[in-house]
Amino acid sequence: MRIVAGIWRGRTLKSPTWDGLRPTSDRLRETLFNILAPAIAGARVLDGYAGTGAIGIEALSRGAAHVTFVEQDPRAVTLIEANLAQLGPSRANDRAIIRADVMTAAGRLAGGSFDLIILDPPYAHDSTARALAAAGPLAGPSTRVAVEHATRDAAPMEVAGLRLRRTVTAGDSALSFYEI
């Protein structure tokens, strides 16, 4: 895995050494950020189901002001910390890591304001709807929500006040974009 663009372009990130973590491919991450490009600079980003941290790190590399990484697996949290550490010292308050599942973290973050919420839940039948339900209360009128899911599982049209605006497919993965 590598950082696709921005100040850390081309840097390699550490990958998981265990089964069960499905990092977003460089190609799909590039597609995601090409679509979100106008909204990245200065944005407050939530990277839900952060895994390796690649999505949040890509956002920071492209000029996001702050990324909150949410991940429940302690091995993945350690991996995120290692990937962030190899990039050098952080800017003042540009990142936070919450070790919890997305539902629990959303409860802690209630009232928090995010410009972008990017979710990459496990590829399971109802995981997209559950992830969106957790993110809904964190979204404001100008928040954009992106969720990665399997193409075999259609994205719901509306969940928790979030309405589907666009879906892009790439192989067996899809990116669906929501707004209030």
**Rounded average pLDDT over 132-158:** 94
Q: Which structure tokens are listed for 35?
A: 């679509």
Task: Evaluate whether residue 19 is within a structural domain.
Answer: no
Q: What's CA 122's distance to the chain center, in Å? A: 12
Residue-number span of the structural domain to which 66 is assigned:
26-179
Task: Evaluate whether residue 16 is within a structural domain.
Answer: no
Task: Evaluate whether residue 53 is within a structural domain.
Answer: yes
Q: Report how many domains make up the chain.
A: 1
Question: What's the pLDDT at 113?
Answer: 81
pTM, rounded to two decimals: 0.93
Task: Evaluate whether residue 142 is within a structural domain.
Answer: yes
Task: Evaluate whether residue 20 is within a structural domain.
Answer: no
Task: Evaluate whether residue 7 is within a structural domain.
Answer: no
Q: Which helix (H) or strand (E) holds 85?
A: helix 74-85
Task: Evaluate whether residue 54 is within a structural domain.
Answer: yes
What confidence tens digit (pLDDT) does each residue in 94-139 have?
889 999 999 999 998 976 689 999 999 988 878 999 999 999 999 9
pLDDT above 90: residue 34: yes
Q: What is the CATH number of the domain that holds 36?
A: 3.40.50.150
